[in-house]
Structure 1
């Protein structure tokens, strides 16, 4: 894999994340910018890139299973009545220009194109980092998508085509596989429902995911712990989200990256302090 030199997010003189903003990737992976590695302040890496079983999982990215039949997730496309199928429909996210490139904040614009080069979406993306305590920092990941295709664009997950539980598509974080503990605000499993906060604790690290605005907090979480560890905020769980021509949607996710475990109640405190 080659590409332009990644942009580095830093807290002081400490690098905490690398952003591959124009990577050179095979078309089958739905090429897109991604964060990897993302590290705790102690240096533990909490992302995975192109693992053997899911090569299209790229650290932290915005990945959508289907935008008007174009695959911006990578890999196979779910076809109702047939299942996951290889199609020549993978799109890509193209960097346009930097609006800001500072050690603690990155803002750039992108264009989402089909495999044939037709533009569908224009995006403005903001990434920033800030301290969240002596052993933790917070990553803010915001994006605004605008329909530039001059027609309605349906955004779908495989669940919208009938694949139960597969409501993924939007912000997605591929975390290191292994033993983990998932907890969330509210009652029961967070998979498939909104939750004010979602905490994932692995060996020596904890991630706390927060919706940074009301629209994001209303989206269901996608949580996969079997076979791999993946966490996402779903734009279209089991019904299409239809974006009218020239219309926009915005989402903002705040993730706290901490060394070790968290004391009881700390995730809720992060939600109160950071997701406003």
Structure 2
């Protein structure tokens, strides 16, 4: 059975507690409070997420975060304003749990409200999270969300990049990975390294941590629209990967329109090579029915 404690649920696979989903967080307003997964662990017990690290207090493990939805900040922290830079504004939104549709130890679905700083609903979200087997030393997190515009007019999804900060096209699914003092490597099908994969499209992308307890995360977009999204990647100042909704052009969603994304993340013990990551990516994608 799923354990509930202070608005948190434990996700399990074959007897392993692989993740905690905090669906009713108690957080300060300026981090844009939202449900998140932390800690996420390998089958061997190594944590592969960070929560509210000193460098970015608004990074909350694994979450859906958007820097600018019609001026509302659902990312947390400062807001990038063209001509002014990053400034503190009282514009933070909140994602609030509304209702459960399914809740087991390995499969969750719930409805959320995205509430702007004025207290009005901007979006309704249907979110599904499931844990899947992915081999003897790995498992996969299946994360799917659909955002529906519930306002009377269009909503614009933007990012610091669309607002003038080149390369900062973050916003959407985002995973803040555990770094510590280890080196982080970024892998792709043809190239390696942050500078070759940041702001690029790729059928999969992987992070590896090379500490005494090495780990690998392999991110695989599933939804057709998400396969066209560009990757936001950080491996030097911190470790994080996101699938960008608005890299260099705003995404405009009509009233009643929907944004749908699904991403699989393989969580593996050990440092995998590109070929191994590619094999896992292909296997979990085939298992998801996405060929």
Q: Which interval holds the TM-score relative to the shorter structure?
A: over 0.9
Establish whether residue 223 from structure 1 lines up as the match of residue 233 from structure 2: yes
Post-superposition CA distance 1:21-55 (Å, at most 9, x none): 01011000000000000000000000000011110
Structure 2 match to 1:112: 114
Structure 1 match to 2:220: 210
In structure 2, the CA distance between the partners of 1:266 and 1:154, relative to structure 1 (3 Å rule), is same
Return the alpha-carbon distance in structure 2 between the equivalents of residues 230 and 181 of structure 1: 11
Structure 1 match to 2:207: 200
Establish whether residue 261 from structure 1 lines up as the match of residue 268 from structure 2: no
TM-superposed CA distance for 1:116, in Å, is 2.0
Query: SS of the counterpart of 2:278?
Result: helix
TM-superposed CA distance for 1:274, in Å, is 1.6
TM-score (ref. length: structure 2): 0.92
Return the alpha-carbon distance in structure 1 between the equivalents of residues 9 and 101 of structure 2: 13
In structure 2, the CA distance between the partners of 1:6 and 1:164, relative to structure 1 (3 Å rule), is same
User: What pairs with 1:14-163 in structure 2 (closer than 5 Å)?
Assistant: 14-163=16-165
Alignment length (residue pairs): 274
Return the alpha-carbon distance in structure 2 between the equivalents of residues 258 and 95 of structure 1: 30
Between 1:258-267 and 1:88-97, the stretch displaced more is: 258-267
Query: SS of the counterpart of 1:267?
Result: helix
TM-score (ref. length: structure 1): 0.97
Return the alpha-carbon distance in structure 2 between the equivalents of residues 43 and 162 of structure 1: 41
Query: SS of the counterpart of 2:162?
Result: helix
TM-superposed CA distance for 1:213, in Å, is 2.3
User: What pairs with 1:158-197 in structure 2 (closer than 5 Å)?
Assistant: 158-177=160-179, 178-187=182-191, 189-197=196-204
Between 1:164-173 and 1:217-226, the stretch displaced more is: 217-226
Between 1:265-274 and 1:119-128, the stretch displaced more is: 265-274
TM-superposed CA distance for 1:222, in Å, is 0.2
Query: SS of the counterpart of 1:201?
Result: strand
CA RMSD of aligned residues (A): 1.2
Post-superposition CA distance 1:182-227 (Å, at most 9, x none): 0112446111011001011103100000001221111000001232
Post-superposition CA distance 1:46-87 (Å, at most 9, x none): 000001111000000000000000000000000001100000
Query: SS of the counterpart of 2:156?
Result: strand
Return the alpha-carbon distance in structure 2 between the equivalents of residues 103 and 225 of structure 1: 32
Return the alpha-carbon distance in structure 2 between the equivalents of residues 122 and 157 of structure 1: 20
Mapped contact 1:29–1:90 kept (Cα < 8 A): yes
Post-superposition CA distance 1:212-248 (Å, at most 9, x none): 1221111000001232111100000011000000000
TM-superposed CA distance for 1:181, in Å, is 0.8
Between 1:12-21 and 1:28-37, the stretch displaced more is: 12-21
Mapped contact 2:189–2:274 kept (Cα < 8 A): no
Return the alpha-carbon distance in structure 2 between the equivalents of residues 52 and 26 of structure 1: 15
Mapped contact 1:113–1:119 kept (Cα < 8 A): yes
* Structure 1 gaps, min length 5: none
